[in-house]
Amino acid sequence: MNTEEIIETAESKLIHTYNRYQIVLEKGQGVRLYDHNGKEYLDFGAGIAVFALGYNNKEYNDALKAQVDKLIHTSNYFYNEPAMEAACAVTKATGLDRVFFTNSGTEAIEGAIKLAKKYAYLKTGSTDHEIIAMKKSFHGRSMGALAVTGNKHYQEAFGPMIPGIKFADYNDLDSVKALINDKTCAIIFETVQGEGGIYPATEDFIKGVRQICDEKGILMILDEIQCGMGRTGTMFAYEQYGIKPDVVTIAKAIGCGVPLGAFVAKDEVAKALVPGDHGSTYGGNPLACAAAAKVFELFDKLNVLDNVKEVGAYLSDKLEELKSQNPLVVDHRGIGLIQGIELSVSPSEVIKKALDEGLILFSAGANVVRFVPPLVITKSDVDEMIEKLSKALNSVG
């Protein structure tokens, strides 16, 4: 099938929940993607922060191929070695004690919400507990994850939401304090707000929330689905603040393309869930966990975190230069390899022009272009991206 036939068939058979670009991607190599017609694209989206190791990494591919020949799936009524290897890697990296593997970030959020409610129920015997989430947040589109997503646009057609969710202002500690009462069982937020426009938590805010949770016996749940797994220069963004959550949710780069997520918790909290409380047919299957185990191994072998720190700082400098040179760029923020530029024009037009130049970018929020490339990019990749982006901005301007 040619490009037009593939697109026409997709539009006639798939439920239309995405406004797709008129491109059919066929293969990838390193930090580049190639469409059905052979056009090359420098990828600064990484499948929305997923492909941390870049495309067609031989060691990663070989690990998956070897596992396919052994065992792709069984059930959670049995043990499998890849799940245990992945569990050891995840708990070591997070500094937490126990993990539940899911198929996605949304499912990880669902599990974290259930865990918080069950933990509170065991303490009080009540089911009317409340959770504080943040405005402009994004945690997923299932009903539980949607309930803690602070954007009415995503919620309005699907109400009523689950009860007991209150929304504070991100990075405003007083707004959090104003919502706390005896029913508050958890506070959930992204360590770096992604879809809301690339806003890292301030040190005063995240440490303040941690202190409140400690004083009042409230669970602190951090969503690191997009900003975790090395994207900020530490394996998890919360490490940079010197704090640790009670529960953290992970997905995207943990599987580097294989659908996988997880929620990880302190031992005391994790033990609230017992057989029958939660489950997932595919969660933690051998293939997905073999991918995760290899990802953690390759992060160490390839010194991914050091690369993120070095190239992330370079990207930040280059985006600051772009901000000073181009009047369409009104702000720049972010950390490591999750950064964004706020524009005075529609990001969608800039992204379309960038695609013409052979550059893949995504938006975040209403007016931000987001940069979440593979974590193995180089400074020369950044230079090439800036050149292509500048052409796109000038074309729109």
pLDDT at position 109 is 98
Residues 49 and 134 in one domain: no
The verdict on 107 and 253 lying in the same domain is yes
Q: What is the pLDDT of residue 54?
A: 97
Same domain, yes or no: 308 and 372 = yes
Mark whether 136 and 204 lie in a shared domain. Answer: yes
Per-residue pLDDT, 397: 78
User: Cα separation of 384 and 381, whole Å?
Assistant: 5
Pairing of β 184-190 and β 219-223 = parallel
Using the 3D structure, point to which of 242, 277, 301 is the last residue of a domain.
301
Q: What is the CATH number of the domain that holds 391?
A: 3.90.1150.10
**Close Cβ partners of 16 (under 8 Å, ≥ 6 residues apart):** none
144 plus 277 within the same structural domain: yes
Domain co-membership, 379 together with 286? no
CB 11 within 8 A of CB 21: no
Same domain assignment for residues 87 and 170: yes
Low-confidence ranges of the chain (pLDDT < 70): none
322 and 198 co-located in one domain: no
pLDDT of amino acid 349: 95
pTM above 0.95, yes or no: yes
Side-chain-side CA neighbours of residue 53 (13 Å): 24
Is 214 found in the same domain as 124?
A: yes
Neighbours of 182 (CB within 10 A): 9
CATH of the domain at 210: 3.40.640.10
Q: H helices within the chain, ranges in order? A: 3-13, 46-49, 58-70, 81-94, 105-124, 143-147, 152-155, 173-177, 203-216, 267-270, 286-301, 304-325, 347-356, 379-396
Helices 347-356 and 379-396 cross at an angle (nearest 10°) of: 120
In degrees, to the nearest 5, what angle opens at C-alpha 125 toward C-alphas 123 and 129? 80
Pairing relation of β-strands 98-102 and 130-134?
unpaired
Do 389 and 274 lie in one domain? The reply is no
Q: Give Cα 362 to chain centroid, integer Å.
A: 14
Question: Which of 278, 301, 324 finishes a domain?
Answer: 301
What are the Cα distances from residue 88, in Å, to 84, 94, 105, 220, 256?
6, 10, 20, 22, 18
Q: What is the pLDDT of residue 102?
A: 98
Quick one: which H or E segment has residue 287? helix 286-301
Beta bridge partners of 29: 32
Q: Residue 103's pLDDT is what? A: 97
Specify whether 214 is located in the same domain as 353.
no
User: Does residue 72 share a domain with residue 98?
Assistant: yes
Total of domains in the chain: 2
Q: From 301, 328, 345, give the residue that closes a domain.
A: 301
Between CA 292 and CA 86 the distance in angstroms is 6
How many angstroms separate the Cα of 396 from the Cα of each of 23, 36, 308, 309, 359? Answer: 21, 27, 30, 32, 15
DSSP reduced 3-state for 140 = coil
Domain around 344 = 3-53+304-396
